[in-house]
Structure 1
Amino acid sequence: MRLLMLGGTEFVGRALVEDALARGWDVTVFNRGRHEPPPGATALVGDRTADGGLEPLATGEWDAVVDTWSWAPVAVRDAARLLADRAERFVYVSSASVYPLPSAPGNDEDAPVAQGSTDDAGADDYAAAKRGGELAALGAFGDDRTVLVRAGLILGPHENVGRLPWWLTRIAAGGRVVAPGPRDLGLQYIDARDLAAWTLDAIEKRLSGPYNLVSALNHTTMGELLDACIRATGSDAQLVWTHPERILGAGVEPWTELPIWVHPGEFHDAMHNTNVDRALATGLRCRPVDDTVADTWAWLRAIGGRAPQRPDRPSPGLPPGKEASLLNP
């Protein structure tokens, strides 16, 4: 199988490339050359946002293209149009964010989606940008040759957004740790490696259409996730479970200052109550939370304890002052 990966050196793209290489696929990686691709991949260097930046892709044929682009949809449009006659299938890694709020709990792939445009040269609205990317892929390859991977929260080794790495680092430091409740709050996420495995399987099976790609309902809970962090790090940290109203009353921002966590309500229902029957029916398998956490900790230690951070995303984490105010009312 010949795979063209647009991106492929950091988080999700890296997981896809490593899995494809392990399957014996012929993998070509196209990006700006800021990071080395995994050994065994052929590298093409170009900036898809610059005039003439797609020139390295002017020749070549592939069985599938995978694109993880998160910014202006015109970049997806231009690449997809260029490749439509020389690649059999196009996989666009989109986002569950294409479903606008408020969204009904249990949304499936037929739920209403955000407005988007293939001609949008900006990316101020993430949902609109991802929907525009979807439309760009569909416009070039058609419904039958396009797979839309609507991923939810993505965790795992090589995470460059900092959510799980922050929790692991904080818990490894020990002491009393603010644990946002309730303890049994259900979580849905996907390990980047499980996303990669399903995506490559989808290419082999010649699937098409949109798929919500995240774990099954209540795959884990906030309590199980933080307990797994304690086990992985061997920490003596004490989790201090704190009511959501107290956290919000202290001015703490869910999701950013307490990564992964969002308080019960509309946003939580949208993120952690997604219907994934279609993906499960086509073979999605999600590893246990302990495996994701332990492997992320092992990777974090191997790189010196400091995770890379995407420049377009704010560094997450609870400021010490806010943590102290919650722990010492």
Structure 2
Amino acid sequence: MLGGTEFVGRAVVDAALARGWEVTVFHRGRHEPPAGVRTLTGDRTAPDGLAALAEGSWDVVVDTWSAAPSAVRDAARLLADRVGRYVYMSSRSVYAWPVAAGLDEDGPLVEGSMDAGDVPYAEAKRGGELAALDAFGADRTLLVRAGLIIGAYENVGRLPWWLNRIARGGPVLAPGPRELAVQYVDVRDLAEWTLDAAEAELSGPYNVVCPPGHATMGELLESCAEVTGSAAELRWTEPEAILAAGVEPWSDLPVWLPPGEMHDAMHAGDVSKAVAAGLRCRPVAETVAETWAWLVSLGGVAPQRPDRPSVGLSPEVEAKLLGR
């Protein structure tokens, strides 16, 4: 596991350990790795930062890297002769805009280069895909194109923000419509599917999120109210009023995108290939409950990736909108 101490990487490590697998975690040493793993330390962005990986062989490597593609290139080339399969945690962001509803893995892709340094997220993920393919070939490379990922260990802040906001109680701006579909993947379901796919020696790209219609905004936020025991009043508000107030979908109101092009791109992808390959998605209430239990164990303060902006609507803007 390249990484393995936070969010997706941590979930993959936990799932692998639960299966009795022998797990090696290569990381920078900024966070404590899970108990039971072999630890190798290094910074893949530094000169000679991969030295700890110079020896050893593994059945599969899982890489969640989302910055400069050249780091994936260097790691993949170093490991190509000593690893059976390369699993790269990519993203549905690699599809070229506009992303139509129902787009499958054959959709047009953004440009990317495996030799690139710091580039925008979509180009970075596509460059990472190309780097893995270059070193391992199409038959030994699995590209996991996840969408919105939520669940325990989340260090981006989306579901934790909703949980904390609803736990505070009172009137809550709930972005409508209530029946609006949301498409995401629980990090634990993502981890389990990824390990199953690696064990089955699958290759190529897979969109890995729950099927469209698996959950709605209403089910998500009402589950937050239920697990927190909050007396919050969800006030469902039409998208037009929210947008007219200058509120930014996705960042000010995490997860939510109004009906239209953006919603189709994020919440309406075709995942039939992954479902046919065994993807199972737990109910949204279970995901919310597990995330809340984890958040409570941290005193309500979730970790935040330094390379991602904080999310959530300010109390002042929410109060103003509710006042209307």
Scaled by the length of structure 1, the TM-score of the pair is 0.98
- In the alignment, structure 1 residue 178 sits paired with structure 2 residue 135: no
2:35 maps to 39
- Among 75, 80, 85, the alignment partner of 1:84 is 80
- Among 292, 299, 322, the alignment partner of 1:297 is 292
User: Larger deviation: 95-104 or 164-173?
Assistant: 95-104
Specify the code of the residue in structure 1 equivalent to 2:317. Answer: K
Q: Structure 1 residue runs of 4+, over 4 Å off?
A: none
Specify the code of the residue in structure 1 equivalent to 2:26. Answer: F
Specify the code of the residue in structure 2 equivalent to 1:116. Answer: G
1:159 maps to 154
- In the alignment, structure 1 residue 57 sits paired with structure 2 residue 53: yes
Q: Is there any run of 5+ residues in structure 1 with no aligned partner, and where?
A: none
- In the alignment, structure 1 residue 264 sits paired with structure 2 residue 259: yes
1:201 maps to 196
2:118 maps to 122
- In the alignment, structure 1 residue 219 sits paired with structure 2 residue 214: yes
Between the aligned partners of 2:78 and 2:40, the Cα distance in structure 1 is 15
Within-5 A mapping of 1:83-162 = 83-123=79-119, 125-162=120-157
Post-superposition offset of 1:288 = 0.3
Q: Secondary structure at the match of 1:127?
A: helix
Between the aligned partners of 1:196 and 1:130, the Cα distance in structure 2 is 18
Between the aligned partners of 1:173 and 1:320, the Cα distance in structure 2 is 11
Q: Secondary structure at the match of 1:178?
A: strand
Once the two structures are superposed, what CA deviation does each residue of 1:252-291 show, in whole Å capped at 9, x if it has no partner?
A: 0110110010111111001111000100000000000000
- Among 248, 252, 270, the alignment partner of 1:253 is 248
1:328 maps to 323
1:236 maps to 231
1:8 maps to 4
Q: Secondary structure at the match of 2:23?
A: strand
- In the alignment, structure 1 residue 23 sits paired with structure 2 residue 19: yes
Q: Is there any run of 5+ residues in structure 2 with no aligned partner, and where?
A: none
Q: Secondary structure at the match of 2:280?
A: coil
Count of aligned positions: 324
Between the aligned partners of 1:222 and 1:100, the Cα distance in structure 2 is 26
1:74 maps to 70
2:274 maps to 279
Scaled by the length of structure 2, the TM-score of the pair is 0.99
Contact 1:109-1:211 at 8 Å conserved across structures: yes
Specify the code of the residue in structure 2 equivalent to 1:31. Answer: H
- In the alignment, structure 1 residue 307 sits paired with structure 2 residue 302: yes
Between the aligned partners of 2:115 and 2:295, the Cα distance in structure 1 is 39
RMSD: 0.5
Specify the code of the residue in structure 2 equivalent to 1:18. Answer: D
Between the aligned partners of 1:199 and 1:311, the Cα distance in structure 2 is 26
Post-superposition offset of 1:321 = 1.1
Contact 1:101-1:267 at 8 Å conserved across structures: no
Post-superposition offset of 1:110 = 0.4
Between the aligned partners of 1:321 and 1:231, the Cα distance in structure 2 is 25
Contact 1:171-1:229 at 8 Å conserved across structures: yes
Once the two structures are superposed, what CA deviation does each residue of 1:59-84 show, in whole Å capped at 9, x if it has no partner?
A: 00000000000000000000000000
